[in-house]
Structures are given as structure tokens and as C-alpha cells.
Structure 1
Amino acid sequence: MHSCALCTLGKAYSGKVKGVTLSLKKSVAIPIEVDGILPESVLGKEPVEIASFKVFVGNESADLGDVFEVKYEGDEALIFEGELKHVKGIGEGMTSGLIMVEGDAGMHLGQRMKGGTIVVNGNLEPRCCCEMSGGTVIVKGNAKAMLGSPLPGNSKGMRGGMIMVFGSVGNRVGEGMRRGLIAVTGDAGDFAGANMIAGTIVVFGKMGLNAGGGMKRGSIVSIGGTDRVLSTFGYSCLYSPTYLKLYFKYLWDRGFPITDEIFNGLYRRHVGDMSSLGKGEILILENS
């Protein structure tokens, strides 16, 4: 079994998507907050009405049309274009539909998302997909720290849905994760799955230090290995998990690089974190 990363995604989103395009008029360092600008609230409306929606530029309210050029070509998707690193809250609270981001995206993308699909043709800033409970986020670049983590003051992070990153991720990916799947083709930073309650994280590259610290349940899978497993995890066995093959088939269909070695290989199972409930597991491909 093998695949070329992004092949399936290329088929799924081939051709031009006809939708409402919001093109950022001017690149600024001041944060622009677009929470509430969602497919379910925008699609089907006239451009003049869309342009009258309110956004925040810094701490001041402004019309959407003052910040973005609005172009209507159809109702298939809501499309963001431009230098969007300082545009926050894209897809926040989204329940349905499709958002396409052509470029890098700012913080809080997909925050508390409940449904629908977000495709990012670029990189993500920190604290994206925090506390999402449904839907799918596809990132064709890298994602920074705290992807799928809890918001400040909360203990539970991602509660459902799927995040697919065709690049690397920063520290604390999946922190406090309750349900769902996070899959990463590249490397992951330190503390992946820290305080994890349940769910699954699959890292195809190398995993950083202290993965699973404080985890109660759930599975963290490392294909590229790690320099150190926490001492509060106990070695259990070397085996080929049947359930993992179901995940690999699912990810292969979505463009992840599943080789025969990954699919049929043996995995070292470490159980922990014994400093917590201790019913989680870290699976590391043998000879990685």
C-alpha cells in the first residue's frame, strides 16, 4: 500500500470552486477578527449585503467590505484570499459548508468548529482548531503550537472531528484532546497529546519529547519514532494492531503516505501515563 500525499485532496478539490471570495485589500499587522463570517451566514446573500457584515480591525468595528473585496461567483464555498496571517477566527463556530483559505491563516481558525470543511492552502498560526467538536480541517502546510488544544482556562481540547496536516506541527498538538483524529505527515513538537483524555494522534514524522504527559486514555502513534518516552509509561509488547490498519486505510484514501512497512509493521506499545489514569498508549513503529 502506498500513496502520494495530497493526491486524493487534489482530486477532491480539482478545478475552480465557485463561491464567495473575500480578498484582503491591504496587508496589515493589526489583527482582523472575522468570527461570524461563515458559509451558513454568507452564502446565498447578495455581495452588497455581505459587504455590510461587521468585523473587528483591532478594537474597532468595520464593514467587511472596507477590509475585503467581495466577489460573488456561486454558493459552493466561502473563499479567503490574501496575506491572512493576522486574520483571526476564520471558520470559528462553523457548522456546515466549505471554507477555502488561499494562503496562510491566522490564529483561532476552526475554533469551536462543529461541522463542515476548512481547507488551508498554506500554514497555520498558533491556537487553531481549539475545542473543535466536529467537521474536517485540512492544512496543506505547517501548523504552529497548540493545534486542537484547550482555550486558556479550560482543560478539554478537541472534542471531535478530524484535522489533517500535510506538513509539521508545533508543540502541544492535541493537548487535552477528548475525541477525534489528528494526522500529521511531518514532525510534531514536544508534549504531543499532553493531558489527553481520549482520541487518536498519528505522526508520520518524528515526534518530540514528553508526548502523552498526563494522558488518561487515547492513542498516540509515532511512525518516525521519538528520542525519549516518558518514564511514567511502561513497555507492554511488540505487535501489529489490527485497529490501526483501519485508520491507515482511511488516511491512505485521503492522501497520506502509507507504505507496506507502516501498514503491516510491528509497533512497540507503551502504556501510561501512570502518573494519571494510565489507560493511554503510545505506539512506535519498530526500527523507526
Structure 2
Amino acid sequence: MLVRIVAAGVNRADALLRAGLYHRAGRPPLVPGAEAAGVVVEVGEGVTGFAPGQRVMGLDGGTSSGFYAELAAVPATHMVVLPDAVDLTRAAVLPVAWLSAWYCLRRLARVTKDDTVVVKAAASGVGTAAVQIAAEAGARVIALAGSAEKAAWAGEFGADVTVDTSAHPDDAEVEEVLRLTDGRGADVVLDTVGGGAFGRSLREVGHGGRVVALANVALEPSTVDTRDFYPKNASILGFQLTNLQIHGYDPRPDLRELAERVAAGGYRVPIEAVVALEEARAAHERLERRDNRGKIVLAVGPDSGK
């Protein structure tokens, strides 16, 4: 179907795609933008459940040309109709960060009220979503962030404990997590950083625990010592959203549930800034400096707040 894009979420994958560093980047010209919200303009023959004028959100799924555009032709299987209570700006950032956090914690790690969950980069888009999702499940949440300010902010989303990793670098981070878990280690570690952080995640997880790896924003190899996880009977779970879709995952039920929970006021979706599409470069640069708290949204049309 054809969608008039109103708001597009800005993600690190967009910046990597622009730089030619993203693992699934094709040959230029490329249109970035993996998630967006907008209004249906036209539906293809045989498409049901959608009509022109409906407000929708969704993913490109690796098959469309990207959402940094005024119009996008998108498979109907990648889009869902929005509840009235969810505005297009917030909806535009649910399909990547929120869906990733949801799938990793609810479907892969299967977090329960008996778990202690470590969330790395807890002030990021995925991080703030993960803190809320884990807290809603009743888990004890330890939020790790790269500054005292970011750690305190992550605490506002329901974390039980916050850790400023700038004050606990490398091995000190591991020691702090073990201290906070009385030496047992965490039941679940959500690793949104990769690189050297992944090796620390394996040391921070406890017996029978689960480490979920969903990114490598560090853009560096991870050195793994198998002795850090196999004696603990720990599991390593990988997640990559686009690849999951390519292999048959239908994101629509999870996206609908997320939207309904946001509509009901169950989750806060922090938006740091809404900037014009023409300012995409500045948005990417801010993201690359890691200056942002919450998501950055590109406003493509005049209706982004509706």
C-alpha cells in the first residue's frame, strides 16, 4: 500500500546505512528509515483491513526503500492501524526500539517477576523501553548508563537500581553487577552495546541465565572466553529484527499490543526532539555523539503531532 509518511524514527542503523557500515547495506542510492507512521493513501488489490485515511505505523522490513520520504510503498504485512490515543510522533518510534526490546525480553528471555534483569545503555531508545517492559513484568531491573545524568534518567522509567558505568568502567562494571546480585549474577542481561561490553555481559549473567545480544553499536569485535558462560549453563540469544522478518516473523501482533499499551498509558515513549526531514544529517550527528536521551523523530509533514 502507499503511505504518506508523517513521522520517521531515527535509529543508529540509519546512520550506519548512510556511512556504508550497516551489514545489510546495498549499493547507493539508498533511502534510510526503518520505521515510520503516517496515513494510508492507497491500498493494493486484494489488501484487506486498511483503507485510505487510516493512521498507521510499521517497518520497512528490508523490502521497501526506506521511510525518509514523503511517500512510501510498503507491504501491508508490515503495517498496523493505530489506536486513536497514540499520536503519529510516538507511533513512529515503536516499530524498531520498542519492538526489539519487547521481543528480546518477552519472547526470547521470557522475563518473569522472579528475574533480575540488567539493561545496558539504559538511557537509549531500546534501553528506556526495556526498563519499562521488564519492570512491568515484575522483574528487578538494574539499569546501566554511561553517565550519572543518564543513569538517573533511566531510573525514572522504573529501574530498581541504576549504575553509572563511567564510574565503573570495564571490570568494575562486572564487580558492581555481581555486588548488586549478591554474587549470583543476573538472570537476564540485555546487551545493546556489543564489542567489549558483550564479554562483560557473559561474566555478569548468573547460573542458568540468558544473555540477549541485539546490537553492536561499539562497531568492534567481541572477545569471548567460553569459560565465562558454559560452566554456568547460561544461554546466549541473538536478535536482529530485519533478519527475523525475512525468516517469517510477523511483527503485527506484537506491534498492536505495544500500541494498545501505549494508548492505555502503560508505557512512556520519550521523544527528545522532532526535527524536519531536511535536518536528518544533524539528527544523525547527534545520535552518533550519543547526546540524545530518548528518540529523535523526523517530521515529514505538518501532522506529526496528530
TM-score bracket relative to the smaller structure = under 0.3
Query: Could you tell me the TM-score, scaled by structure 1's length?
Result: 0.27
More helix by share: 2
Q: Which structure is richer in relative contact order (CA contacts within 8 A, separation 6 or more)?
A: 2
- TM-score when normalising by structure 2: 0.26
